[in-house]
Amino acid sequence: MAWVERTARGEIAAGAGAGVGKRRRVRPVALFQIAVHLAALAPLALLIWDALHANLTANPIQALEQRTGKIALALLVVSLACTPANTLLRFRPAVRWRRPLGLYAFLYAALHFLIFIGLDYGLDLRRLREAIFEKRYALVGFAAFLILLPLAVTSTKAMMRRMGRRWTRLHRLVYIAAPLVVLHYAWSVKSDIRVPLLYGAIILLLLALRTRPVRRGISRLSRSSFLDPKGFWEDMSP
């Protein structure tokens, strides 16, 4: 009986130790997930707070449009950075957050569009038609939104399975939508375009990192280098 009790206690202790190890391994991932959601939703919470407390400058509608548009572009850039972060830095959790971040970007883009057509133009179809087809920034922004719409609608695992390879081809349209968003931003600010140009440069860099020659060159460089980021991110892998 004593041997049985000692064995049982050993198994329980081993199981508890394994559970603790597992929890320690999962915990960074859970914290990372929470941090991503909070970071994506914090600008919306701040926007609502400022709207409720009249902190949206003298032109609140314009402030709402500009802030939602900038947040949408920033999140779109971050979603585009997920694949290079995985392939180059071996930061594996980034791949899992590519679609959620893209959906958050679409959320702010949809808010940006609804504010434009609802608050700015009061759903006046005649004025909206004139604005879209007479103002180049509005036309380009509308085109980018139309591209992002089907990408958001099909950003589910069920649609991925149903569409197969067509899903990948469809979602490559984001490489067209992102430059259009930057162009929309640059034409809408009219004067100081340094920030849109910075976003444009980042997007061009991220797109270049996806090309096969660049990936091969970086792969050869990483194999010959003593710096390997794999171990640094190991604890963050699910």
Give the pLDDT confidence of 83-99 residue by residue, as tens digits.
Answer: 888 877 778 878 888 89
Give the pLDDT confidence of 160-205 residue by residue, as tens digits.
Answer: 899 999 998 999 999 999 999 999 999 998 778 999 999 999 999 9
- Residues of the chain above pLDDT 90, percent: 56
What is the structure's pLDDT at 231?
44
The band of 22, judged by pLDDT with boundaries at 50, 70 and 90, is: very low
Rg, Å, the chain Cα set? 23
Is residue 235 included in any domain, yes or no? no
The number of folded domains in the chain is 1
What is the structure's pLDDT at 28?
64
What is the structure's pLDDT at 124?
92
Is residue 105 included in any domain, yes or no? yes
What is the structure's pLDDT at 4?
43
Instruction: List the one residue out of 82, 113, 84 whose CA is nearest residue 99.
Output: 82
Is residue 216 included in any domain, yes or no? yes
Task: Show the tokens assigned to 159.
Answer: 């649609």
Q: Is 115 exposed, middle or buried (0-12, 13-18, 19+ CB in 10 A)?
A: buried
- Its pTM stands at 0.80
The band of 12, judged by pLDDT with boundaries at 50, 70 and 90, is: very low
- Judged by DSSP in three states, 192 sits in coil
Output the average pLDDT for the chain.
83
Beta strands in the chain (DSSP E): none
Is residue 49 included in any domain, yes or no? no
* Domain of residue 126, residue span: 62-221
Is residue 35 included in any domain, yes or no? no
